[in-house]
Amino acid sequence: MTADSASIDLSNHFLMAMPGLEDPQFARSVVYVCEHSPRGAMGLIINHPASLTMPELFGKLDLPLLRTDLLAQPVMHGGPVQNERGFVLHDPIAQDAPADSPVFASTLRVPGGLEMTTSRDVLEALSSGAGPRRVLISLGCASWGEGQLESELAENAWLTVPADAAIVFDHPIEERYDRALGLLGLKSWMLSPQAGHA
């Protein structure tokens, strides 16, 4: 497969940072790619917790948090872009929701994968004890302009693998990088910090 942007679509994939990627925002990161097209790419880092707790986030929004399963869950630092904006990665609503379930105002459906909602109504649903069953809430996102991600892939900055929702929602944060590498049959000690080209 070439790095031609017209030929690859990494939506619903993980990007795993190679050891040589020294940008502190992305070191040992796992990014869930929400959107990838010839115009660029956008995703959320799923394994870098922010300093903000879930109760603090909902408090800033003047919302109670009645979902006890979320009380101990950290807010993620989703990336360096739009740090004040919330992004909610969640299971597809249609999958296990009754027909009268709410449809959120701004939801991106990732083909074959999860959904990402940026409108306040999803937080209001979670606040009231409802909303999607499994969620990851982040502040900020990662984005790449036209051809930028393809260029970074060609420079061996990232490994890619089809995403597994269990890694996003069910595994402890500190295990997500190694679990994502495991989807490729790799362990982090196998990766050289030097980018090599044959």
Can you list the positions of beta strands (E) in the chain? 13-17, 30-37, 40-45, 49-53, 74-77, 81-90, 107-109, 115-117, 135-144, 158-162
Give the model confidence (pLDDT) of 108-140 as tens digits.
999 999 999 999 999 999 999 999 999 999 999
Specify the residue for token string 């999958």: 95
Inter-residue contact 74 to 50 (CB < 8 Å): yes
Give the model confidence (pLDDT) of 96-114 as tens digits.
555 555 678 899 999 999 9
Mean pLDDT of 66-89: 94
Give the model confidence (pLDDT) of 37-49 as tens digits.
999 999 999 999 9
**In angstroms, what CA-CA distances link 16 with 55, 122, 142, 186?**
29, 28, 13, 11
Rg (CA), the chain: 17
Q: Which two tokens mark 159?
A: 């490994």
Inter-residue contact 71 to 57 (CB < 8 Å): no
